[in-house]
Structure 1
Amino acid sequence: MANKVVGTVPSNKASRIALLKTHQSHVISQPDVQTANARPVKQPLLHEAYAASTKSLRDLELIPLSELKVEIHHRGRGIIVRTIAPPYRGAGAVTVVEDEHGNVDKLAIYNLSETSLLSNPPEGCILAVKEPYYKLNGENDFMICVDHPSDVLLLRFSDPIIPEILRRGVEEAMAKPPDEWKAAGDAAFIQRDFPTAVYCYSEALEGIAEDDSDARAGVLAKRTGTNLMLGHYDAAMEDALASRTGADSDWKSYFTAAKAAYGLCEYQSCKSFLESALEKSPKAPNVQKEYERCLARLREEKEGVYGFRSMIAGVTRQNVHVDAASFLRNTKILESPLHGRGIFAARDIRAGELVFCEKAALMPNQYEPARASAALYAMMVRQLYDNPSLAKTILPLYGGDYPRTGLEGTIVDGVPVVDVFLLESIRLRNCFSSPLSTFENTKPGSHDDGKMAKGVWVHASHMNHNCVPNTMRSFVGDMFISRAVRDISAGEEMFQQYVPIRSDLAARQAQFKTNWGFECACPLCSGEAKSDMAKHKRRQQILAKVEKLGNKHKEPAKFVPESAIRTVDRLARQLEELHEEDIYRDLPRLTLIYPTMWLLEAHRGRKNHIKVVAYAKKVLRNFGFMVERVDSIEDIFHGSASPNSLMTIHMVSALKNASESYRVLGEMELADKFDEAAKFGYMFVTGFENDLSAINIP
């Protein structure tokens, strides 16, 4: 049936009475908005992608609902309709609309922010849909589907493009004087219906003469404050500056503009606005306090000094956003000889130093894995719609081969063009998974294990992948911390691991190709590619045997049978022999990490400290740290003993285990050296200096 109706005008649509009756039954049965769970999101399927409209409504041919064809995107055309029912709110807002000819249909609007009036379009409002997509929703069930939020417009009742017949019944609203619109806005504000308040204040402004600056300033101030509460920082800043009259009371306008700039993390502009506010009113309440707060952000941008412990104390799953600025001065973005753009060192950076610390451009408070991706997608769409200035930072990010018009982000008919499929393509390739804090997440028995949010860090997104990178990332709330894991020279490109790497080379490369469209040519991948394929296969087979045995003894630190230890030791020796010396001389041996870690823990459980030290060194070697080549354990981070090494919490654990065993064996100097190395490594893992007791090694 579906194929037969595609491209045709349906002849079996529901009648007006039937459509309204069915719709009303859904409205009555929908959950109470106040008690319902978080509103679901319609996440796009890229194989169903279609471009957002980039044309003005005035450039489109207006057609009646009766000409809509099934599964067609009506390019070059538009419709103007009036809502004739209250909305049903699910993943979007579904309502019933009619046109000037009396035709009726369903309209579904998705991806609009809760701060938009169109996320809950009231009955009787007049809408325009640009280049509508008419969707077959089921047997004899059709609807106009709006995925791109910029494809639907809420029209002012006085807009001359509205057909005369649709104006009937709204004459009273059209004739309402500015004072009544202002009063209606105030009433909506008191009821915390902020989108309606903004609409009413906008209508009031349309009726106030341009030369009545005082009246306009009063309404602009109200709309400014409301937009600020909605997080519409672009609009709030514009209104605040437009509300100035030249009087000393303008300090309020500058103060509001400063708060909007702060919300956009534009701290230099915020400082300038606050200084103007202080000039107008040096004793204005809260201005000096906000000025000091702004100066603290500017110091962070310049110096990169943070109170990471206080940050951790302040973040919760309900409020992940840290009040801090990004420090990026150690780095610069340049064209990479590898591919695309990359991040390069602007100066020499020593191992352990902060490379950069970046505040997320977009990150929702959502740590449930099943919802995190959808929450980030929804935030991206809605924030770029609510704050068009974000387009200049988000849209240049890599979006795969998704076709662009070049007009995404531009303002058309008063709203920014937002292509939801482009944003989903960008999200897929640029988002990071983040725990509430890496420090807490690396603790044994962490309750946050597996609880990851998703965020976009624009600067960090430019860093290319390397399986043996020279930086390591960690997180505190929405702050991305990058530290050098070995010395980096000025002008050198810096790398990160996109994901924890797999020991199987083929599986590793397939993951990179599928998710990011590249084949990794890092020293580890290019080196392992030279290894005999039969040996690759055999190594994976032996590792599988070790893991199977390990699963029988999941806590090797507890006493395990000697026979199990001997078996794993034998298999580990076989694995060592399968690594060609000429290939793996300076490379990690990934398939040996699990067996040697398991053996270390098993011997620690037996309190065999000589074996613990021996296997700790093997673990370090298998991570790529050549400890036998250096005179001092600290040299592994600054010298040439770790050019292709991997830093993980397991590395830190091995160093700490070695330190504890050396101490029991009376080798105090070595114990202190390994302890210092463990503390240094733990800083890489967590992002800042921490007491090693947190990793809970007895």
Structure 2
Amino acid sequence: MARDLRVAGDDGVVTLVEDELGAVHRLRLYNLPSQNQKPLNLDDILPPGCVLAIKEPYCEAASEDMSGIRVDHPSDWMYLSEVHALFPEIWKHQFDDPSVSPSESLKNEGNAFFKAHKYRQSVLKYTEALRFERSPSLGATLLLNRAQAYLLLGDYPLAVNDVQKYLTEIASNPDHAKSQDEKALFRGAKAFYALRKYQDAHDLLERLTKEFPQNKDARQELTKVKTRLEEEKWGRYDWFALSAEARKPVPKNDVADYVGSIKRDGSGVWVATRDVKAGELLLVSKALDVLFAAEVEGNEKALVYDATRALLGESEGWTLTRKIASKLSEVPSQVDDVQSLSGCLDVYQDSEEGSSEKVVMIDDRTIIDINVIDAVREAFATPFPAIHPLITGASSVFSGVGLWPASARPHLPHACTPNTSRSFLGDVLILRACRDLKSGEGLTVSHVHPALPLEERRAELVRPGTRLGACECAFCAIEEKEGNEMRARRVELVQRVKTLSDKAPAERLRTDAARDDSAGPSNDSVKEIARSVEGLCDTLESTYSQREHPAHVQPRFALLEPLSYLFACYLYLGPTHTEDAMRANARYFAALGFEFEYTDVGAGAGGGDVVVRRHGYYHPLIVKTLVQQSSVCWQLGKKRTADAWRRIAENSMEIVAGHRRLFKEAFGKVYASLNWEL
């Protein structure tokens, strides 16, 4: 039994407890489900007089005055009510006055605690009252009151249990008071919604709005649930709302997950269930939980020693681990996803904890092992930008780290030249096909940018403690065969381009209304630099074998920066070099493995159409280069060709940033300057 002496620390709660024999112990509870609430509400965690059961085995250390008990795992302790078989007889209430209803008295005590926002104590009182109650009317009130308290505590599965018990045992009686059905249906729908069981929430709200049409809150909730079902079934999202939320310091999107024409095969890897076109939406997944930079700014950083795996980790890592544990306590159905990932960890290879089987339920609670969660977090958590750097005003710095079990490497393997592209909007991950897929084809994504040196990619992919190996794709095999000498040669050529660009930095090569010829470099000097850079680009390109290793197999990442600078030079030189600028961009596309088909038949002065014949690697800057190509064509009067490039740019924006509707937000000003209405 907890005493009225509690201290909340940064990582847990310390209190004094008394056992049924009267001995006093110092109890330390760590990684609490509500640990991330600031400030902690101790009355919701350890209200004075509450009775706890600590599961064996537990850590106990004796001192001179008393023993100390430590509990690390959220599921290793539980509250006991008087109806539980483990509740000590000597602590049970005794009601000697037969004229007073024990249930009525306990209900009133529970109501008083509820009004004082002491929901845990109210739950205990309602539970005790149900032990004595035989009146269906009072029993219904107690169940619904307890369901509401569970809702406010975040114990959503228990709230659902109470509502379902009411609906099956009480509401099925034709003589019951139907006025309470309204509360039951609404509270059940709220609990199902929090558990992300939107169809169940929809069914209760449909019944509620039909039987109680005057309930405005129910109609509003039904509208919200229908939106979630549209997202879940068809992938129809409000992309502008997602973008707006992503700009907040700590974005929290309220959306459903979507799984498109894909499924997991026997090994857990996502595969296409039919032929898929490039750009098609395959997966939208809300993070299990995330930690944003704004949540740790100003906090002192500390190192925490993890004795289980003999590793040091920053306190931010443990903060995210506790957040994930808290979320799993609220939505236990997601524990399976985390548990399955632990099968890829060396530390749990020979233990039951690393099993990919369904997780164990004990005392109607899902087992949550904080060490398993932390190991999974360290191996598979992903740093991410809350919004793509292409979007106006967005930062290119990773603004958070989160865990998306559905897109972790065991389910979505790495490839340096992948067939899908992932992007983020706040805490939502978006996965789209970046080339056409065949039915049954396995999905891959770049977990590490392939432009990094081979050694860095492999070091990042082979994370300590996991059984996930380095990438062995054709791109990696080619680079390994080429050796360090060839890579050093390319680095040296790129550095020579950078040295040349110092004479006329790209930011001074203005072509807009703000251009100042007196302050910018002379055309003659830029022309000379452009000739030298083009020669270096030719030399760089010659270091690759187009016949043996075409660009869609081995993208020429070393060429991208020089070609971008070359385009800027030619554009600066004016209309006489516009065609040269377009050729520089065409080489940029080819370096990434893209192939286009140009149609001039019947095009006239407006130019011809352009269509993608082969998709290449969707580098983040591919959209900007496509926009440049379309704007140059527009200025040349080739408006049909310009519009074709714009459509390709929009499609590419959808692949690399999540959705085409973000295109106008990112590049609207460019087209507005051309008097081109999107």
TM range (shorter): 0.7 to 0.9
User: Which residue of the partner structure matches residue 352 of structure 1?
Assistant: 279
Residue aligning to 2:476: 525
Does the Cα contact within 8 Å between 1:609 and 1:664 map onto a contact in 2? Answer: no
Counterpart in the other structure of 1:458: 406
Deviates more, 1:408-417 or 1:301-310: 408-417
Residue of structure 2 in register with 1:471 after alignment? 420
Does residue 1:387 correspond to 2:331, yes or no? Answer: yes
Alpha-carbon separation, structure 1, partners of 2:66 and 2:584: 67
C-alpha offsets along residues 475-533 of structure 1, whole Å, 9 cap, x if unaligned? Answer: 33343322222222222222222233333122212211126622213332233333244
Equivalence map 1:626-637=2 (5 Å): 626-627=595-596, 634-636=610-612
Q: Does 1:237 align with 2:168?
A: no
Paired residue secondary structure (1:496): coil
Find the aligned partners of 2:571 and 2:22 in 1 and give their Cα distance. 81
CA distance in 1, matches of 2:163, 2:476: 55
* 2:485 is equivalent to residue 534 of structure 1: yes
Cα deviation for residue 345 of structure 1 reads: 1.5
Partner of 2:303: none
CA positional deviation for 1:418: 0.9
- How far did 1:420 drift? 0.8
Aligned to 1:320: 251
Q: Using the alignment, how far apart are the partners of 2:276 and 2:548 within structure 1?
A: 29
Question: Counterpart in 2 of 1:435?
Answer: 385
User: Which of the residues 555, 560, 564 maps onto 1:593?
Assistant: 560
**What are the superposed Cα offsets for residues 392-437 of structure 1, whole Å, 9 maximum, x if unpaired?**
4442235522233459843324533210111122233443444333
Contact 2:384 2:424 (C-alpha < 8 Å) held by counterparts: yes
Aligned to 1:269: 200
Measure how far apart 1:381 and its partner are.
Answer: 0.7
Q: Is the 8 A contact 1:317 1:366 kept in 2?
A: no
- Quick one: which amino acid aligns to residue 164 of structure 2? L
Give runs of aligned pairs for residues 201-220 of structure 1, distance below 5 A: 201-206=126-131, 208-209=132-133, 211-220=134-143
| Shift, 1:624, TM fit | 1.9
Q: Distance in 2 between matches of 1:307 and 1:358?
A: 15
TM-score (norm 2): 0.77
**Superposed displacement of residue 567, structure 1:** 6.5
1:557–1:602 Cα contact (<8 Å) kept: yes
Give runs of aligned pairs for residues 30-49 of structure 1, distance below 5 A: none
What is the match of residue 228 of structure 1? 151
Residue 173 (structure 1) shift: 11
How far did residue 157 of structure 1 move? 6.8
Amino acid at match of 1:390: Q
Contact 1:590 1:623 in 2 (8 A): yes
AA paired with 2:222?
Answer: Y
Distance 2:20 2:146 in 1: 33
Distance 1:220 1:318 in 2: 39
How far off is 1:223 after superposition? 1.2
The separation in 2 between residues aligned to 1:464 and 1:221, in whole angstroms, is 46
AA matched with 1:694: A
Letter in 2 for 1:635: V
Tell me what 1:694 maps to: 666
- Give the total of aligned pairs: 602
Query: Could you tell me how far 1:650 is from its partner in structure 2?
Result: 0.8
| Residues 1:189 and 2:120 are matched in the alignment | no
- Paired residue secondary structure (1:241): helix
Secondary structure at the counterpart of residue 259 of structure 2: coil
93-102 vs 243-252, which moves further: 93-102
Contact 2:318 2:374 in 1 (8 A): no
Amino acid in the other structure paired with 1:326 = D
1:93-172 aligned within 5 A: 93-97=13-17, 106-114=26-34, 120-123=45-48, 125-131=50-56, 134=59, 144-156=69-81
Task: Report Cα offsets for 1:355-412 as digits up to 9, x if no partner.
Answer: 2333444446765577875454222211222333332444223552223345984332
1:482 paired residue number: 431
Is the alpha carbon distance of 1:393 and 1:88 closer, same or farther for their aligned partners in structure 2, counting shifts above 3 Å? closer
| Distance (whole Å) between structure 1 residues aligned to residue 609 and residue 70 of structure 2 | 63
Letter in 1 for 2:430: I
The aligned residue for residue 604 of structure 2 is: none
Match of 2:239 among 304, 308, 311: 308
- Counterpart pick for 2:544 among 562, 566, 579: 579
Q: For residues 293-339 of structure 1, give each alpha carbon's deviation from its aligned partner in whole angstroms, at most 9, with x where no partner exists.
A: 4333333333323331233345663773434333324111113xxxx
Deviation at 1:110, TM superposition (A): 1.1
- TM superposition shift of 1:131: 3.8
Match of 1:259 in 2: 190
- Give yes or no for contact 1:388–1:409 (8 Å, CA) kept in 2: no
* Contact 1:217/1:243 (<8 A) preserved: yes
- Whole-angstrom distance in 2 between the partners of 1:262 and 1:661: 50
Q: Which region of structure 1 is more displaced relative to structure 2, 623-632 or 411-420?
A: 623-632
Mapped to 2, the partners of 1:174 and 1:106 lie a distance apart of: 34
Distance 2:429 2:321 in 1: 19
Tell me the secondary structure at the aligned position of residue 341 of structure 2: coil
Contact 1:682 1:692 survives alignment (8 Å): no
Contact kept in structure 2, 1:627 and 1:633, CA below 8 Å: no
Q: CA deviation at 1:240?
A: 0.9
Kindly state the Cα deviation for residue 257 of structure 1 after the two structures are TM-superposed: 1.5
Counterpart secondary structure, 1:454:
strand
**Quick one: structure 1 residues 390 and 616, their matched pair in 2 at CA, closer, same or farther if it must change by over 3 Å?**
same
Aligned match for 2:7, one of 65, 70, 87: 87
Indicate conservation of the 8 Å contact 2:256/2:286, yes or no. Answer: yes
8 Å contact kept, 1:251–1:278 = no
In structure 2, do the counterparts of structure 1 residues 311 and 186 end up closer, same or farther at CA, with 3 Å as the change threshold?
Answer: same
Match of 1:32 in 2: none
With over 3 angstroms needed to count, the CA separation of the structure-2 counterparts of 1:508 and 1:564, relative to structure 1, is farther
Q: 2: CA distance between counterparts of 1:602 and 1:136?
A: 72
Structure 1 runs not aligned, ≥5 long: 1-80
- Cα distance change of structure 1 residues 103 and 483 upon mapping to structure 2, 3 Å threshold: same
RMSD: 4.0
Determine whether 1:672 maps to 2:672. Answer: no
Single out whichever of 390-399 and 315-324 deviates more from structure 2. Answer: 315-324
Kindly indicate whether the alpha-carbon contact (under 8 Å) linking 1:360 and 1:458 is maintained by their aligned counterparts in 2.
no
The 3-state SS of whatever aligns with 2:443 is strand
Amino acid paired to 2:361: I
Cα distance, 1:566–1:173 mapped onto 2, change above 3 Å: farther
Deviation of 1:623 after TM superposition, in Å, equals 1.8
Task: Read off the aligned partner of 2:632 and give its amino acid letter.
Answer: S
Gaps of at least 5 residues in structure 2 are 298-314, 511-519, 601-607, 674-678
SS at the partner of 1:383? helix
1:494 to 443, 468, 493: 443
